[in-house]
Structure 1
Amino acid sequence: MFSDIFKQLLQNCNVTAYQMSKDTGISESLISNWKSGRQLPKYDSLNILADYFNVSGDFLLGRTDEMPKQVEKQESQVVKEPTKSRIIPLYMTRASAGTGNWLSDDIPVEWMTIPKTSLTEQADFMLKVRGDSMQPKFFDNDVLLIKKSPSILEGEIGIFILNGDSYVKQMGKGELISLNPVYEPIKLAEYDDIRCAGKVIGTVDFE
């Protein structure tokens, strides 16, 4: 479990809760809660921990037992070089590129480790595509990188919640546009309940 992994990292790197709090700005009380198992870190804290201990997100989440060499050596100082991965939530629903799919704020998420790049560092969460209406740019099952935004510019692609259904579409003038010409644009009416959940900034491949 996470608390055991966290305590082992502190011990192997010879770091006290006070020192870690001083280095990262994370409160000692929160660190204590992590050590005791009373609380789990949120994904932004997981990324701070991955960078601080120079370990992968998979190691922190218990998906691999492989301890990095510099941690095994019980060095007196923690290596502060940034890792090349980050942890980001993948919402367990899909943004429809066809007829619409429900998306709400309380749906479950899966914490995923993805490569850390200038693009992925801008993303706040991920969603999978359902359908083919955004081909040839996005295909069914593509994992989209989303940057939270309450609005996007005309011509940009975003995640929209329209009357309770979620879509990945291009913002048009009074309509949501599919890139696949087989699909007609979705015309927006005055009585429609619509909001933008974020801007699509790219895709990520887990294979």
Structure 2
Amino acid sequence: MSLGQRIKQAREQHGYQQKDLAKKVGVKSAGVISNWERDLNKPDADKIVQLCEVLEISASDLLNCHIQEEFVCSTREKDMIKQFRSLDDIAQEAILSLLSIEAKRHKEVNLPTWTLPFFSARPSAGIGNYMMDNEEEQMEIIDTPQARKADYILQVDGNSMEPKFHSGQYVLVKKQETIQTNEIGIFVIDGDVWIKQFQIDHLHSLNPKYADIPFEEGQEIYCMGKVIGTAERV
């Protein structure tokens, strides 16, 4: 796990948005925090001290670059592992044999591909991500009917939309300024990007562990588009 990832993890554990942390450590904008968390820049020694104080983390924990990166499983993958462990040796060997065959077949199949714009801003399914430096690149994905209807791709950050969408997953977005109630879209609220289910007076999180986001007077809110599916990168 990188320094930026550890800063982000500690911030989210305290429930701070990037703009909150920026104010607490005395930097000019949430964009500075975003750059730190994406490892585009690094905080200087003075800011490291302030980060440790605000986030209640030791300098050794924050700066330790030798922590092995955790392999993150989705809820579905965890369920599959539990089921696999419940099987006897013969059944497990049969599953492993089938997995090996299918993995080889998947690599050999010449799947058609489709290319769409991919934006670096990651819609939050958690605490909220600041909308800045929204860099565009072209991403090659597996061709599907949904992919051909989409206008661009974003990557989910957080777990608040599980079990439907998982952190790190790529989603297909169709540009539109409004969506219907109960549809899932990409929203910007006061500069933070979210993937949420739209309701009349709030944005809803599918994961019950996360609170909904009520609409408040004076907020700048707009819809970037409707999420129409997921994408598999080639």
TM-score (norm 1): 0.57
Give 1:84 shift: 3.2
What per-residue deviation string (whole Å, max 9, x for no partner) do you get for residues 10-67 of structure 1?
xxxxxxxxxxxxxxxxxxxxxxxxxxxxxxxxxxxxxxxxxxxxxxxxxxxxxxxxxx
* 1:21-60 correspondence runs (5 A): none
**Could you tell me which residue of structure 2 aligns to residue 94 of structure 1?**
122
Letter in 1 for 2:190: N
Contact 2:139–2:233 at 8 Å: present in 1 too? no
| 207, 219, 223: which one aligns with 1:196 | 223
**Could you tell me which residue of structure 2 aligns to residue 173 of structure 1?**
200
Aligned counterparts of 1:103 and 1:125: Cα–Cα separation in 2: 16
**Could you tell me which residue of structure 2 aligns to residue 127 of structure 1?**
154
Aligned counterparts of 2:187 and 2:206: Cα–Cα separation in 1: 15
Aligned counterparts of 1:157 and 1:96: Cα–Cα separation in 2: 13
Q: Which moved more, 1:114-123 or 1:158-167?
A: 114-123
SS at match of 1:96: coil
Give 1:191 shift: 1.1
Aligned counterparts of 2:159 and 2:129: Cα–Cα separation in 1: 14
**Could you tell me which residue of structure 1 aligns to residue 131 of structure 2?**
103
**Could you tell me which residue of structure 2 aligns to residue 206 of structure 1?**
233
Structure 1 position 159 matched with structure 2 position 190: no
Larger helix percent = 2
Letter in 2 for 1:93: A
**Could you tell me which residue of structure 2 aligns to residue 43 of structure 1?**
none
| 85, 93, 110: which one aligns with 2:113 | 85
What per-residue deviation string (whole Å, max 9, x for no partner) do you get for residues 89-145 of structure 1?
1111210001111235x6212211122221100110000000000000001000010
Contact 2:142–2:233 at 8 Å: present in 1 too? no
Letter in 2 for 1:172: Q
Letter in 2 for 1:177: H
**Could you tell me which residue of structure 1 aligns to residue 172 of structure 2?**
145
Aligned counterparts of 1:136 and 1:84: Cα–Cα separation in 2: 28
Structure 1: unaligned runs, 5 residues or longer? 1-82
Kindly report structure 1 stretches of 4+ aligned residues shifted beyond 2 Å: 83-86
Aligned counterparts of 1:102 and 1:202: Cα–Cα separation in 2: 23
Give 1:189 shift: 1.2
SS at match of 2:148: helix
CA RMSD of aligned residues (A): 1.6
Contact 2:171–2:229 at 8 Å: present in 1 too? yes
TM-score (norm 2): 0.51
Aligned residue pairs: how many?
124
SS at match of 2:129: coil
SS at match of 1:191: coil
Structure 2: unaligned runs, 5 residues or longer? 1-110
Contact 2:121–2:193 at 8 Å: present in 1 too? no
